[in-house]
């Protein structure tokens, strides 16, 4: 059904139908540290967070608190999510918690929230992540209303870049929405909340109905089989609509009516949109997933390509090799803290978690944020084969 022309009402918290805040963090795989650096699982002094100076509470979730902290050796701020094992078990969320941490440990992208380390203690799991202080894209839209196309395009380009990275690493997010898109100091997007994500495998289809109904694709709410990437494309289409229109394309207090609108592709397209935007949105919100535009086609669309930052360009074919490259400036800073150079390089190449690699990535990320805001094109296609290998291993997650 072709969208009709009208101007939707402005976006509000009720319009976006905020679901209760829920953060799901998967449990880490048992990554072995370099021989002479023990993982921070408590330490001799019994303090699992001995490398951090803990600050105020940023929020309280279903599983525990989120606190701001300072990494003592580098001075950089991080967010520490304290997940209570008992609460996770009682809520039967072990698998979702494991899944998110497992996924985030693999990812290294400027527009995906960074996980630095996971610290285990008897009662709690401490997830040390990138600190993002500017809130959610949801709140930004509520405050500003519909955005100008140039600003909306900047957000959308970053989102699509992150989603494409997920798909290249065989992960479909399945719960993309403005509440799960965080903004950093530079107002850059960070995709978060991978608790509902799943791994794509050749020849396999997904059926689980999950995510927020307003952003869910027709095939998801209908309980049909779906490959994966196409549901993220639909959600991105809903997000783009919200950015440009200040409201949601599909909204109804009555859930059956909402589902009817989604399944029928019934929404209104406001007249203030430019021609290219009016062309792109309907191609993303196609009810038939087989006819829906792909991420690659989105990237080739004129509206998306306009003012595309150089760092978001598709990386050259040989960039998978660049994952082994070491940033010398960050390396020197870590060595100055007293760590052995050879062990550090070995740990980085083998993607091990220990004190030295945590410091290295904190230095690297801070350098990237203060210069180009990007970790380097080489990380765009990093760890694809490693990702597949890790998810195929039954021993790659911790047992609660």
Tell me if 191 sits within 8 A of 159, measured CB to CB: yes
Give the start-end residues of each E strand in 180-262: 181-183, 189-191, 198-199
Q: Are strands 115-120 and 77-84 parallel, antiparallel or unpaired?
A: unpaired
Catalytic, 175? Answer: yes
**Cα(39)–Cα(280) distance, rounded to whole angstroms?**
47
**Cα(286)–Cα(293) distance, rounded to whole angstroms?**
8
Tell me if 191 sits within 8 A of 163, measured CB to CB: yes
End-to-end CA distance of the chain: give it in Å, rounded.
Answer: 48
Nearest alpha carbon to residue 238 among 291, 290, 280, 199: 280
**Cα(147)–Cα(144) distance, rounded to whole angstroms?**
7
Tell me if 265 sits within 8 A of 291, measured CB to CB: no
| Ligand-binding site membership of 56 (annotated) | no
Identify the active-site residue in 45, 124, 139, 175. Answer: 175
Q: Phi-psi bin for 170: left (phi > 0), alpha (psi -120 to 50), beta?
A: left
**Cα(65)–Cα(84) distance, rounded to whole angstroms?**
9
**Cα(93)–Cα(90) distance, rounded to whole angstroms?**
8
**Cα(142)–Cα(139) distance, rounded to whole angstroms?**
5
* β-sheet bridge partners, residue 78: 69, 130
Q: What is the CA radius of gyration of the chain?
A: 21
Annotated binding residues for ATP, as ranges? 81
Residues that are catalytic: 175
């Amino acid at each position: 059904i072709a969208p009709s022309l009208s101007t939707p009402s402005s976006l509000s918290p009720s319009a976006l139908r905020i679901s209760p805040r829920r953060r799901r963090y998967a449990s880490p795989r048992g990554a072995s540290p370099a021989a002479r650096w023990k993982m921070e699982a408590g330490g001799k002094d019994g303090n699992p967070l001995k490398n951090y100076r803990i600050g105020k509470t940023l929020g309280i979730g279903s599983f525990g608190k989120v606190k701001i902290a300072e990494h003592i050796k580098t001075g950089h701020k991080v967010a520490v999510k304290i997940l209570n094992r008992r609460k996770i078990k009682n809520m039967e969320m072990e698998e979702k918690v494991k899944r998110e941490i497992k996924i985030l440990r693999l990812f290294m992208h400027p527009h995906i929230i960074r996980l630095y380390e996971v610290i285990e203690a008897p009662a709690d799991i401490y997830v040390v992540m990138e600190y993002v202080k500017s809130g959610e894209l949801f709140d930004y839209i509520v405050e500003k209303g519909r955005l100008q196309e140039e600003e909306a395009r900047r957000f959308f380009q970053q989102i699509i870049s992150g989603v494409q990275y997920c798909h290249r690493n065989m992960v479909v997010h399945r719960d993309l929405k403005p509440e799960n898109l965080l903004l950093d100091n530079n107002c850059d997007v960070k995709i978060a909340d991978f608790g509902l994500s799943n791994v794509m495998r050749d020849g396999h289809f997904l059926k689980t109905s999950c995510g927020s109904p307003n952003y869910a694709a027709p095939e998801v709410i209908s309980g049909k089989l779906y490959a994966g990437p196409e549901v993220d494309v639909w959600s991105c289409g809903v997000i783009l609509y919200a950015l440009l229109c200040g409201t949601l394309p599909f909204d109804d207090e009555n859930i059956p009516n909402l589902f009817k609108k989604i399944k029928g592709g019934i929404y209104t397209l406001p007249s203030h949109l430019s021609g290219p935007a009016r062309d792109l949105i309907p191609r993303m919100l196609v009810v038939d997933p087989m006819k829906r535009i792909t991420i690659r086609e989105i990237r080739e669309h004129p509206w998306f390509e306009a003012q595309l930052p150089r760092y978001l360009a598709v990386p050259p074919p040989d960039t998978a090799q660049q994952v082994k490259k070491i940033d010398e400036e960050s390396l020197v800073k870590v060595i100055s803290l007293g760590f052995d150079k050879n062990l550090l390089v070995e740990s980085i190449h083998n993607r091990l978690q220990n004190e030295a690699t945590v410091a290295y990535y904190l230095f690297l990320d801070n350098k990237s944020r203060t210069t180009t805001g990007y970790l380097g094109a080489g990380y765009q296609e990093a760890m694809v084969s490693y990702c597949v290998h890790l998810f195929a291993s039954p021993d790659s997650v911790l047992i609660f």
